[in-house]
């Protein structure tokens, strides 16, 4: 079902792992990876058995950013088309109805930060580093997700300076949820994913949708969004059974 060159997708019960797979190019994001990320996310979104997606990488680097070698020979129109393809890939990650966890090992620069920022949350290794180099390259980018995660003032600092910030600072800013030793990262992320996957998938999806849509609405509108989700959950899940079993699980 999944046949890609720049990424790998594997399924283990209710957890899917989407792995960036260009280690020789430091997993730099090129046109093909943009298209394959979009296609893979569209396919995963249709699989009811998938409840959690882990986004990982091969090699020592999560994603070094855009593939600048590819971009050198592009026309202005081709550069714009590549940027749109990137936006489409990030949006496809955000649109996944199930929980999406970014698992960042090593450097995540530029497009790597955008991929991580499109996840529901991020777990990082202690050696992870983050950087937004767009302004230094004389281009505009990463102006929408970052402020929504770390706030307007800090986003401006990180974008204007293009400085590297490590996993601990990323955690303090709310960009990363937890930091682990490199050898523990993937196992810990997998364990978390397996735990989440035990929950009712309808409830998980409705909770995610309510948070995402509610934050873009007014307080009153957000309450309406949650109420509609509650009603949909009642219609489509065995909530009475869940309540009756509360406290009985170890």
What is the tens place of the pLDDT at every residue in 61-109? 999 999 988 888 889 999 999 999 999 999 999 999 999 999 999 999 9
> Is there a single domain that holds both residue 85 and residue 175?
yes
Give the range of the structural domain holding residue 221, as residue numbers without chain letter. Answer: 201-244
The answer to whether position 70 is within a domain reads: yes
Distance from C-alpha of 55 to C-alpha of 30, rounded to nearest angstrom = 17
Distance from C-alpha of 29 to C-alpha of 200, rounded to nearest angstrom = 34
The answer to whether position 154 is within a domain reads: yes
Going by pLDDT thresholds of 50, 70 and 90, the confidence category of residue 230 is confident
> Is there a single domain that holds both residue 116 and residue 238?
no
Query: Residues near 169 by Cβ (< 8 Å), separated by ≥ 6?
Result: none
> Is there a single domain that holds both residue 188 and residue 212?
no
> Is there a single domain that holds both residue 192 and residue 205?
no
DSSP 20: E
Distance from C-alpha of 179 to C-alpha of 232, rounded to nearest angstrom = 36
> Is there a single domain that holds both residue 68 and residue 156?
yes
Distance from C-alpha of 50 to C-alpha of 17, rounded to nearest angstrom = 10
Q: Which 3 state secondary structure label does DSSP give 6?
A: coil
Burial call 193-231: b when 16+ CB within 10 Å, e when fewer? beebbeebbbbbbbbbbbeebbeeeeeeebeebbeebee
> Is there a single domain that holds both residue 190 and residue 205?
no
The answer to whether position 250 is within a domain reads: no
The answer to whether position 249 is within a domain reads: no
> Is there a single domain that holds both residue 240 and residue 156?
no
The answer to whether position 42 is within a domain reads: yes
In terms of phi and psi (left: phi > 0; alpha: psi -120 to 50; beta: otherwise), the region of 20 is beta
> Is there a single domain that holds both residue 88 and residue 62?
yes
Helices 31-45 and 76-95, packing angle to 10 deg: 20
The answer to whether position 69 is within a domain reads: yes
> Is there a single domain that holds both residue 25 and residue 117?
yes
Distance from C-alpha of 167 to C-alpha of 179, rounded to nearest angstrom = 7
Q: Which of 96-100, 203-207, 246-250 comes out lowest in average pLDDT?
A: 246-250
> DSSP secondary structure string, 142-159?
--SHHHHHH-HHHHHHHH
Residue 233 is predicted with a pLDDT of 87
> Is there a single domain that holds both residue 125 and residue 228?
no
* C-alpha Rg value of the chain to the nearest Å: 19
What is the tens place of the pLDDT at every residue in 156-175? 999 999 999 999 999 999 99
How many domains does the chain contain in total?
Answer: 2
The answer to whether position 50 is within a domain reads: yes
Residue 239 is predicted with a pLDDT of 61
The answer to whether position 1 is within a domain reads: no
> Is there a single domain that holds both residue 231 and residue 164?
no
- Contact in structure between 89 and 34 (CB atoms under 8 Å): yes
Residue 242 is predicted with a pLDDT of 60
The count of other CB atoms within 10 Å of the CB of residue 160 is 11
Q: Is the pLDDT of residue 249 over 60?
A: no
> Is there a single domain that holds both residue 189 and residue 206?
no
Going by pLDDT thresholds of 50, 70 and 90, the confidence category of residue 4 is very high
Domain boundary (181, 196, 211) is at 196
E strands, 105-239, are 107-109, 121-125, 129-131, 165-166, 178-180
Helices 201-215 and 219-236, packing angle to 10 deg: 170
Mean of per-residue pLDDT scores for the chain = 94
């Amino acid at each position: 079902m999944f046949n890609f060159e720049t990424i790998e997708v594997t399924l283990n019960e209710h957890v899917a792992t989407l792995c960036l797979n260009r280690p020789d190019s430091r997993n730099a994001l090129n046109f093909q990876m943009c298209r394959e990320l979009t296609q893979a996310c569209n396919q995963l979104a249709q699989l009811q058995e998938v409840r959690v997606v882990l986004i990982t990488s091969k090699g020592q680097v999560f994603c070094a950013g855009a593939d600048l070698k590819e971009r050198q020979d592009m026309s202005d129109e081709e550069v714009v088309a590549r940027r749109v393809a990137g936006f489409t890939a990030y949006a496809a990650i955000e649109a996944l109805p199930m929980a999406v966890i970014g698992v960042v090992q090593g450097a995540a620069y530029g497009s790597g930060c955008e991929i991580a920022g499109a996840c529901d949350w991020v777990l990082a290794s202690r050696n992870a580093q983050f950087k937004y180099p767009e302004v230094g390259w004389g281009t505009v980018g990463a102006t929408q997700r970052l402020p929504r995660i770390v706030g307007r003032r800090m986003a401006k600092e990180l974008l204007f300076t293009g400085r590297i910030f490590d996993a601990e600072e990323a955690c303090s800013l709310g960009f990363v949820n937890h930091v682990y030793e490199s050898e523990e990262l993937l196992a810990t992320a997998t364990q978390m994913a397996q735990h989440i996957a035990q929950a009712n998938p309808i409830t998980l999806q409705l909770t995610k949708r309510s948070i995402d849509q509610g934050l873009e609405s007014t307080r009153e509108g957000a309450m309406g969004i949650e109420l509609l989700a509650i009603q949909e959950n009642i219609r489509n899940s065995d909530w009475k059974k869940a309540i009756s079993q509360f406290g009985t699980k170890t």
